[in-house]
């Protein structure tokens, strides 16, 4: 591909990004609705990543993973395959790099993992979406992760979340099926009942 074509493509992308940014601003003005999560990730992308560039491999864009997509410094979203996000255990806030090849392929790479912590909770379904109820907070989880780990509603699930920022999404790390957790709880109660395994009589 010639340099002139690359420059033309870059100009078209810049123009489209600018138009999209203006459209978002007008929409916010008219509706008063602000996507605070997106604004937060856009601000972080602005602070931590450079401007889009063109390399021998293709167009390179850096941004922040928002739980589903990569958001660049202009607020533009780039879809990340759910299977890749699940298997790579990407966490909301991770710094990402996207290379768009001349053939149109999207190649993602995690370049700045955010500090993370593990929390455990119960998998629930709300409004047709899978979520994790943990430590008094609800985290959204990717359907692809639920399917990959064969998790079901009621299972105990551990997820990775950012340790330094508030998050909407959690990345599933492991699943303890409900029947296994129930069996472990029953065994624990049985072991604690008495030394010979028999329940002590209750005096009223």
pLDDT in tens, 120-151: 999 999 888 999 999 889 999 999 999 999 99
- Whole-model pTM: value is 0.67
Q: How many of the other CB atoms lie within 10 Å of CB of 133?
A: 14
Domain 116-184, CATH homologous superfamily name and number: Nucleic acid-binding proteins (2.40.50.140)
State the alpha helices, DSSP H only, in the chain: 3-31, 36-48, 82-87, 143-148, 178-193
Polymer length of the chain: 204
Q: How many of the other CB atoms lie within 10 Å of CB of 140?
A: 17
CA distance linking residue 79 with residue 169, whole number of Å: 15
Which part of the chain is CATH 2.40.50.140? 116-184
Q: Is residue 120 classed exposed, middle or buried when 0-12, 13-18 and 19+ CB atoms within 10 A define those classes?
A: middle
> For 57-84, how does the pLDDT look when each residue is reduced to its tens digit (9 = 90+)?
778 999 999 999 999 888 888 999 999 9
Compute CA 8 distance to the chain's CA centroid, rounded to the nearest angstrom. 33
- Which of the four pLDDT bands, split at 50, 70 and 90, describes residue 199? very low
Is residue 95 within 8 A of residue 113, CB to CB? The reply is yes
């Amino acid at each position: 591909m010639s340099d002139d074509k690359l420059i033309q493509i870059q100009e078209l992308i810049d123009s489209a990004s600018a138009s999209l940014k203006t459209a978002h601003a007008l929409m916010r003005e008219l509706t008063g609705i602000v996507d605070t999560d997106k604004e937060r990730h856009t601000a972080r992308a602005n602070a931590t990543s450079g401007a889009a560039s063109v390399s021998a491999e293709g167009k390179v864009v850096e941004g922040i993973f928002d739980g589903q997509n990569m958001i660049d410094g202009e607020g533009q979203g780039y879809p990340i395959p759910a299977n890749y996000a699940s298997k790579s255990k990407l966490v909301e806030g991770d710094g990402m790099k996207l290379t768009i090849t001349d053939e149109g392929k999207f190649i993602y790479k995690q370049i700045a993992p955010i500090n993370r912590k593990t929390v455990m909770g119960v998998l629930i379904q709300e409004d047709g979406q899978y979520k994790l109820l943990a430590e008094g907070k609800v985290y959204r989880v990717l359907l692809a992760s639920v399917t990959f780990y064969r998790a079901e509603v009621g299972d105990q699930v551990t997820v990775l979340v950012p340790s330094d920022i508030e998050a909407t999404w959690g990345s599933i790390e492991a699943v303890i099926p409900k029947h296994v957790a129930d069996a472990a709880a029953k065994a624990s109660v049985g072991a604690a009942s008495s030394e010979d395994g028999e329940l002590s009589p209750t005096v009223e």
